[in-house]
């Protein structure tokens, strides 16, 4: 009996040791390297070194790899994607897989009696959750054996089309188009979006077209548009929601860096008029540091019961030497209006204004905005006068008009400045420019409900002016929206179909004028809320904005000239996995009916 017990004990010990060695049981391992999302080097024996017999193949699923030699043509044909889009999808999949596996202990579960050459077939568990299942549920893998999320997979394919992947030769620092014969022969390379190329990277002369002068130039990609232009006094930024489906909390975007640099460079004063504030750590720290070095920071902002949208206004107010919000106790009408401005004045010399809110969605360039930096003490003085009125407690219809209105001339521009509601800007000024347009009127706008403006656009169309609008999906279904009326009378109106907002409030006219600011083209924007709008005569800037409008127009499918996608739906690219309540209905991503598979 005792001998039988010892024999059983011996075999149990051998089995335990065998399990530990092969990683079958609860042995905690780490992923030493990811060759692809489904091919891993796993430290099965716990010595922190990759050795023979420690390669793991995740069985039952297929993904794309960013290894050119492993291009899965069969899967690409099955899913109906090009090689370029497949490699872009591989980039997204790798990014997601690395986020799951990074710094995580795993348990390897091998398929019974299965081994593929030197590769152990099976799955790994991360916090006891199947890695294979997570790839399938998040739409980063395809399977004929296991259920997978086809809706999310199609979303990722759509997202991949927004990426322009290139092959970077890490040794020569030259980058190649997908399919380039020289890119395919590189031994040490990376597949990455063109937008993430390192400084100093040069285009391959063979796969990029030569200019007439014989110099190698990189053609403007259909997926990329320059984000800024300057005439020396006015610098204009146009942020592009079609190239960014991820919300960030850092300050890595160009527009965030532009604001950060101005805050850090301020010497005497920063006046901030903000519809609201959502903390970006680097921006907050820069404001705090400015105060500590003696810069006088003043702050006016909107008071709203919906503090969830802009929870950090009070934080900036605490930094400021003086602050004021637009709440007017005892006056529910005035208190219901918005302090909707978004401008900063630096040292009484420079103004930054436009449609950008001081929020994560706008600072990360998730939304599309038009922002203007104007280096002009005269224009800064006009904005300071408006700011001081609000700081003294005069908001909305309590504000007074200026004694005179001047066209300010800078190096390349003629600029007029108007404020709401005291200047009646749409009726008295904007309509003049619309009514005198001769060639075209292009409008990238968040919303349009202003009936006299609607009528002026129809009249312009009737006299032969090319009138086009791109409108954000959020407001198309508003009761007073002009979209259906304009469409019914023959004006082309496209509704954007991306996760981010088309948040600009602007008009481009005849290669000559830009009308832009914080003011929506609505009755509230003109006659109730605190707003500002600039009318800039500058052909160079106007042509640049015109081309950006046409770029956006080309990226929005023709079907959305007649249909209007919901802001959070399978039609709006990225909106069902961005973690944002895009249509403000209290439901996010998969909880929203628009994101249900049809």
User: Would 592 be classed as within a structural domain?
Assistant: no
List, in order, residues 6 or more apart from 243 with CB less than 8 Å away: 162, 195, 223, 224, 365
Write out the DSSP string of 125-164: EETTEEHHHHHHHTTS-B-SSS---HHHHHHHHHHHTT--
**Whether 210 and 141 share a structural domain:** no
Identify the domain boundary among 125, 143, 160: 160
So what's the pLDDT on residue 158?
Answer: 79
Spatial contact of 338 and 395, defined as CB atoms under 8 Å apart: no
pLDDT class for 169, splitting at 50, 70, 90?
A: confident
Clarify whether residues 523 and 376 are in a common domain: yes
For helices 281-292 and 254-265, what crossing angle results, to 10°?
Answer: 10
Residue 520, classified by CB atoms within 10 Å of its CB into exposed (0-12), middle (13-18) or buried (19+), is: buried
Q: Is residue 597 part of a domain?
A: no
pLDDT of residue 8: 57
Decide if 304 is inside a domain: yes
Is residue 468 within 8 Å of 553, Cβ to Cβ?
Answer: yes
Supply the DSSP symbol for 53: T
Residue 343: exposure state from Cβ atoms within 10 A (0-12, 13-18, ≥19): buried
With tokens 């259909």, the residue in question is 222
In angstroms, rounded to a whole number, what is the distance separating the alpha carbons of residues 309 and 306?
6
Alpha-carbon gap, residue 290 to 520, rounded angstroms: 32
Give me the DSSP letters along 273-326.
Answer: EES-B---HHHHHHHHHHHHTT-EEEEEE---S-TTTSTTHHHHHHHSSEEEE-
Strands 105-116 and 174-177 turn out to be unpaired
Tell me what the pLDDT averaged over the chain comes to. 87
Residues 238 and 215 in one domain: no
Phi-psi region of 553 (alpha: psi -120 to 50; beta: other; left: phi over 0): alpha
Computed on alpha carbons and rounded to an integer, the radius of gyration of the chain in Å comes to 29
At a CB cut-off of 8 Å and minimum separation 6, what does 567 contact? 472, 473, 474, 575, 582, 583
* Per-residue pLDDT at 465: 98
Domain boundary among 133, 160, 187: 160
- pLDDT, one tens digit per residue, over 67-99 is 887 778 888 888 888 888 888 888 889 888 988
Q: Which of 22-31, 161-170, 319-328 has the lowest mean pLDDT?
A: 22-31
> Of the ranges 19-33, 244-258, 300-314, 392-406, which one carries the lowest mean pLDDT score?
19-33
In angstroms, the CA 122 to CA 390 distance is 65
Residue 11 lies in a domain: no
CATH assignment of the domain containing 103: 2.40.50.90
The confidence score (pLDDT) of residue 425 equals: 96
Residue 461 lies in a domain: yes
Query: What is the DSSP secondary-structure string of 157-210?
Result: HHHHTT--EEEEETTT-EEEETT-HHHHT-SSEEEEEGGGPPTT-EE-TTTSPB
Q: Is 526 helix (H, G, I), strand (E, B) or coil?
A: helix
User: Are 245 and 201 contained in the same domain?
Assistant: no
Q: What is the pLDDT of residue 159?
A: 78
| Token digits of residue 415 | 């600029």
454 lies in the same domain as 346: yes
Query: Burial level of 104, CB count in 10 A (0-12/13-18/19+)?
Result: middle
**264 located within any domain:** yes
Residue 573 domain flag: no
Least confident range from 51-60, 173-182, 202-211, 385-394: namely 202-211
Q: Which residues contact 98 (CB under 8 A, 6 or more apart)?
A: 34
Least reliable range by pLDDT among 104-108, 196-200, 211-215, 514-518? 211-215
Query: Is residue 337 one of the residues assigned to a domain?
Result: yes
Structure tokens at 258: 């532009």
Band of the pLDDT at 458, cuts 50, 70, 90?
A: very high
| Nearest CA-CA partner of 472 in 357, 552, 402, 381 | 552
Q: Quote the pLDDT of residue 7.
A: 54
CA nearest neighbour of 148 among 131, 130, 158, 135: 135
219 and 197, same domain (yes or no): yes
Crossing angle for the helix pair 83-101 and 150-160, nearest 10 degrees?
A: 120
The pLDDT confidence band at residue 117, using thresholds 50, 70 and 90, is low
Confidence at residue 597, expressed as pLDDT on a 0 to 100 scale: 61
CB atoms within 10 A of CB 294: 8
- Same domain? For 79 and 106 the reply is yes
Phi and psi at residue 392, to the nearest 5° = -80, 0
Which contiguous run of DSSP H or E holds residue 547? helix 539-555
Token pair, residue 430, equals 């904007």
Cα(469)–Cα(193) distance, rounded to whole angstroms?
A: 30
- 334: nearest Cα among 278, 403, 390: 390
**Same domain for 348 and 248:** yes
| Each residue's pLDDT tens digit, 11-56 | 555 544 544 444 444 457 888 888 889 988 888 887 777 776 788 8
Q: Whose CA is closest to 259, among 125, 373, 147?
A: 373
| Strand pairing report for 466-471 and 440-445 | parallel
pLDDT tens, 272-285?
999 989 999 999 99
Whether residue 308 is found in the same domain as residue 353: yes
- Residues 101, 195, single domain; the answer is no
d(CA 500, CA 253): 15
Domain boundary among 160, 180, 208: 160
pLDDT digits (tens, 9 = 90+) for 554-573: 899 898 999 899 999 988 98
Across residues 496-513, what is the average pLDDT?
A: 96
> For position 480, which CATH number holds?
3.30.870.10
Three-class SS state of 462: helix
pLDDT at position 428 is 95
Counting the structural domains of the chain, the total is: 3
User: β-strands 29-36, 39-42: how paired?
Assistant: antiparallel
Q: How far apart are CA 60 and CA 66, in angstroms?
A: 19
CA dist 227 and 224 (Å) reads 9
Segment 203-241, tens digit of pLDDT: 887 775 432 333 333 333 344 577 899 888 999 999 999
The C-alpha angle 452, 457, 459, rounded to 5 degrees, equals 95
pTM for this prediction: 0.66
Residue 392 has pLDDT above 60, yes or no: yes
Q: Is the pLDDT of residue 473 over 60?
A: yes
Residue 350: which of 285, 410, 281 has the closest Cα?
A: 410
The domain in which residue 178 lies consists of: 164-224
- Same domain? For 446 and 470 the reply is yes
CB atoms under 10 Å from CB of 553, counted, come to: 18
Residue 202 and residue 93 share a domain: no
């Amino acid at each position: 009996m005792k001998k039988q017990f010892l024999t059983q004990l011996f075999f149990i010990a051998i089995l335990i040791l065998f399990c530990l060695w092969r990683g079958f049981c609860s042995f905690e391992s780490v992923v030493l390297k990811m060759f692809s999302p489904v091919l891993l080097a796993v430290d099965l024996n716990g010595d922190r070194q990759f050795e023979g017999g420690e390669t793991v193949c995740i069985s039952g699923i297929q993904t794309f790899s960013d290894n050119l030699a492993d291009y899965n043509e069969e899967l690409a044909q099955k899913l109906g994607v090009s090689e370029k889009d497949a490699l872009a999808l591989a980039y997204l999949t790798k990014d997601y897989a690395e986020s799951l596996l990074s710094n995580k202990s795993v348990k390897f579960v091998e398929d019974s009696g299965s081994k593929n050459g030197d590769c152990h077939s099976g799955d790994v568990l991360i916090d006891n959750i199947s890695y294979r299942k997570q790839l399938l549920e998040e739409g980063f893998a395809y399977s004929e054996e296991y259920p997978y999320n086809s809706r999310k997979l199609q979303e990722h394919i759509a997202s991949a089309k927004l990426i322009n992947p290139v092959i970077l030769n890490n040794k020569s620092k030259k980058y190649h188009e997908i399919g380039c014969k020289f890119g395919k022969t590189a031994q040490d390379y990376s597949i990455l979006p063109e937008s993430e190329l390192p400084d100093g990277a040069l285009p391959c002369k063979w796969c990029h077209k030569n200019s007439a002068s014989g110099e190698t130039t990189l053609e403007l990609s259909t997926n990329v548009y320059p984000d800024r232009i300057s005439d020396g006094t006015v610098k204009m930024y146009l942020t592009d929601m079609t190239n960014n489906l991820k919300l960030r909390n850092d300050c890595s975007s160009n527009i965030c860096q532009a604001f950060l640099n101005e805050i850090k460079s301020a010497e005497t004063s920063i006046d901030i008029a903000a519809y609201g504030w959502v903390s970006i750590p680097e921006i907050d720290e820069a404001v705090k540091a400015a105060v500590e070095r003696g810069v006088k920071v003043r702050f006016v902002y909107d008071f709203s019961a919906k503090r969830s949208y802009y929870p950090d206004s009070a934080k900036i107010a605490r930094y400021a030497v003086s602050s004021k919000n637009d709440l007017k106790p005892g006056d529910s009408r005035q208190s219901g209006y918005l302090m909707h401005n978004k401008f900063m004045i630096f040292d009484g010399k420079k103004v930054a204004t436009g449609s950008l809110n001081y929020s994560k969605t706008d600072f990360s360039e998730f939304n599309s905005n038009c922002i203007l930096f104007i280096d002009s003490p005269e224009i800064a003085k006009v904005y300071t006068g408006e700011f001081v009125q609000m700081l003294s407690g005069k908001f909305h219809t309590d504000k007074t008009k200026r004694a005179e209105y001047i066209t300010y001339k800078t190096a390349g521009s003629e600029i007029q400045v108007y404020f709401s509601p005291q200047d009646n800007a749409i009726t008295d000024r904007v309509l003049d420019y619309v009514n005198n347009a001769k060639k075209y009127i292009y409008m990238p706008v968040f919303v349009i409900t202003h009936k006299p403006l609607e009528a002026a656009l129809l009249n312009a169309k009737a006299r032969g002016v090319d009138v086009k609008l791109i409108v954000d999906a959020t407001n198309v279904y508003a009761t007073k929206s002009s979209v259906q009326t304009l469409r019914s009378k023959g004006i082309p109106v496209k509704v954007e179909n991306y996760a981010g907002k088309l948040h600009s409030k602007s008009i481009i006219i005849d290669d000559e004028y830009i009308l832009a600011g914080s003011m929506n083209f609505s009755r509230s924007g003109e006659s109730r809320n605190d707003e500002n709008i600039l009318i800039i005569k500058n052909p160079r800037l106007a042509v640049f904005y015109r081309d950006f409008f046409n770029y956006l127009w080309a990226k929005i499918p023709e079907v959305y000239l007649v249909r209007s996608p919901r802001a959070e739906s399978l039609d709006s690219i990225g909106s069902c996995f961005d973690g944002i309540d895009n249509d403000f209905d209290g439901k996010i991503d998969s909880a929203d009916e628009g994101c249900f598979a049809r």
